[in-house]
Amino acid sequence: MYHDEIIIDGLQYCHWDRAYFESLKQSGVTAIHVTLVYHENARETLTRFAEWNLHFERNSDLIMPVLSMEDVFKAKSEGKVGIFFGAQNCSPIDDEIGLIEVMRKLGLLIMQLTYNNQSLLATGCYEQEDSGVTRFGKQAIAEMNRVGMIVDMSHSSERSTLEAIDLSSRPICISHANPQRAHPALRNKSDEVIRALCERGGLLGFSLYPFHLPGGSDCSLEDFCRMVADTAEMVDVERLAIGSDLCQNQPQSVLEWMRNGRWSKSLDYGEGSASNAGWPAALPWFPETSGLKNIYQGLREIGFSEQETAGILGRNWLTFLEDGLRSE
């Protein structure tokens, strides 16, 4: 049944080339939330859009842009992989609230309020002092709600995330993180956050990033599926999804850009461990072409129904985005 379903991966930042697009098509994924930018400013974000326009032009037989969920169904019917864009920081809007609507009209569907550090909008998960959502952040959330841009708090702190859930008139997402009870990583989320998120109609995308998994790179498929099942005992299964956080075939320089941007001269280890300096060892059960299918089968084997599994692997993202992307 896997290949008949709408399969959505809620976050990737891989080395985008034709070979990878071919492997995505082979994997059976219908659509992917692609990180367009990490720390790029407004002008640099325009260049990222232009680069993707060239990808779409040169690989039109494999990929297509997604501007609404109707495009996801179109991608499925045409056998292509749909691509929709998000930002892992608020840097694309500089310090100008009007750029939220501009970026949304260009195709930026999702934006994190912060990436690890304090931003103009909110506090990141690695800051020692959590001051929550800023004055600018409160207005930015309201503007994102108005224009139909999804608020994402994956890399945000506890207080900021709880405040964003409360401030937003629309459900928000945590596109790629795991429960802290499964792994105490600073970016993983407390039960309080997960409950608040899901009670307000939000969505949690489970991450495959080994540094945030139980057992790290030794996490088994069963361990991962058990983590999902344990969370489903706490919240509605319709609020759960996948955001793999896959960074396939990327060099060390990309990892350093993700972590450091332009703010640090030395490699930021995030959670303070030099053992986290490089890319983690890949999960053997999550290869390019069959990782999501393996999760689909693993969830079925652990006791999820066919309908619940289809929801987690894509339908829940589809429903969430259909509602959240409409402008007011």
Mean pLDDT over residues 153-168, rounded? 98
- Domain positions in the chain are 90-324
Alpha-carbon gap, residue 122 to 137, rounded angstroms? 6
Contact at 8 Å (CB) between 112 and 86?
A: yes
The pair of three-digit structure tokens given for residue 316, joined into one six-digit string: 């829940």
* Cα 147 to Cα 324: distance, rounded to the nearest angstrom: 10
Q: Does the pLDDT value for residue 1 go beyond 70? A: yes
Spatial contact of 159 and 129, defined as CB atoms under 8 Å apart: no
Tell me what percent of the chain is helix, strand and coil, each rounded to the nearest 5.
45, 15, 40
How far apart, in Å, are the Cα atoms of 209 and each of 96, 118, 126, 212, 259?
33, 22, 17, 6, 14
pLDDT, tens only, 78-132 = 999 999 999 999 999 999 999 999 999 999 999 999 999 999 999 999 999 999 9
Domain 90-324 fold is: TIM Barrel (3.20.20)
Split at pLDDT 50, 70, 90, the class of 236 is: very high
The sign of the CA dihedral 255, 158, 34, 37 is negative
Mean pLDDT on 141-164 = 98
Mean pLDDT of 243-249: 94
Amino acid occupying residue 112: Q
Name the region of 79 (left: φ>0; alpha: ψ -120 to 50; beta: rest): left
Name the pLDDT band for 218 (thresholds 50, 70, 90).
very high
Confidence label for 160 from pLDDT (cuts 50, 70 and 90): very high
pLDDT score for 268: 76
Q: What percent of the chain has pLDDT over 70?
A: 97
Q: State the pLDDT at residue 328.
A: 82
**How does residue 142 score in pLDDT terms, banded at 50, 70 and 90?**
very high
